[in-house]
Amino acid sequence: MRHKHMAQRADRSRQALRYGWMALCLLWAAGPLYLPAYYLTIANHIGMVALVALGLVLMTGVAGLTSFGQAAFVGLGAYVSAVLTTTYSLSPWLGLLAVVVVTISVAFALGAITLRLSGHYLPLGTIAWGLSLYFLFGNLEILGGHTGLSSIPPIEVFGYGLKSAASIYYLIWVVLFLAIVLSDNLLQAREGRAIRALKGGVIVAESMGVNTARSKMIVFFLAALYAGISGWIYAHYQRFVNPSPFSLHIGIEYLFMAVLGGATQVWGALLGAGLVTLLKEWLQDLLPRLLGSSGNFETIVFGLF
């Protein structure tokens, strides 16, 4: 009798969970209908930023590799597509292909050098290439220097340009959702176990037969790719790029998001991105004199450790 009773209860709670998910999906899908324009923009921003933070959750939280330079990969994605679609007037989708190829190759080159760094040398190395890429964006003639590139075409789906905040909302969140599911599956799989083993130090993982160099590279690729795609969406959504959103400070912010969200949970990326973005908005309202990031991070980071 008890068994039957428990089975019924489990059944019911599973059903409740399913309904909960469905309600959440509906709530999400109807977002552009009820969200005011301002909040829709913020939701879009959170989605784009969460994609980068997701890569960092994999790298820092799961694999234990700290990167301060992730904003540079976002910039790479944004600029590659921006140049291809403005100067060479290619389709943004070809731009996406180029973004994937370029971010992976740059990640390969940077990873080959910096991932071999151990301990605190790795984050220092990421600061170095993060800064270098940022200054490169600001100084290359073809990228428009510090003024940047404008009149970037929007992404087109079946001949329909995703110009409005509402239309790009779906693209951003579908991409983010796919990335979260992909990352979650990866972490459950054999390769994911190898990646999770990295955090406890290289020696244990190596002695269990994990090719740690390869595992580090995979997670670095994935993080760079997420950042690049986020940059790609950003460029075609804002229709304008300049170097300032790809600076070291923003890279640090991405890291805070990953750390804030719990760092070991893929959904934590969303939480961290949401919290930091909202906090920033709120602070910018509250303290108009304090531009950008300010005081409160300190206490939050302290609370964490």
Q: Which residues bind another protein (CB under 8 A)?
A: 64, 66, 68, 113-114, 116-121, 123-125, 127-129, 131-132, 135-136, 139, 199-203, 206, 248-249, 252, 255-256, 259, 289-295, 297-298, 301-302, 305
Residue 150 CB, shortest distance to another protein, in Å, is 21
Residue 243 CB, shortest distance to another protein, in Å, is 12
Nearer residue to another protein within complex by CB, 199 or 239:
199
Residue 181 CB, shortest distance to another protein, in Å, is 29
Nearer residue to another protein within complex by CB, 131 or 217:
131
61-93 burial, b at 16+ Cβ within 10 Å, e below that, comes to bbbbbbbbbbbbbbbbbbbbbbbbbbeeebebe
Residue 63 CB, shortest distance to another protein, in Å, is 10
Phi, psi dihedral angles at 90 (to 5 degrees): -90, 170
The CA-atom distances, in angstroms, between 73 and each of 12, 184, 223 are 45, 22, 9
Nearer residue to another protein within complex by CB, 125 or 268:
125
Phi, psi dihedral angles at 156 (to 5 degrees): -110, 135
CA distance 264 to 57: 6
Which residues have CB under 8 Å from 146's CB, separation 6+? 138, 242, 243
Residue 74 CB, shortest distance to another protein, in Å, is 18
Nearer residue to another protein within complex by CB, 133 or 179:
133
CA distance 192 to 170: 28
Residue 198 CB, shortest distance to another protein, in Å, is 8
Residue 245 CB, shortest distance to another protein, in Å, is 16
Burial of 225 (0-12, 13-18, 19+ CB in 10 A): buried
Structure tokens at 60: 């820092």
C-alpha dihedral, 283 to 269 to 35 to 280, nearest 10°? 10
Nearer residue to another protein within complex by CB, 66 or 103:
66
Give the residue from 79, 112, 70 showing the smallest Cα distance to 247: 70
Nearer residue to another protein within complex by CB, 64 or 153:
64
Nearer residue to another protein within complex by CB, 34 or 302:
302
Residue with tokens 């083993």: 197
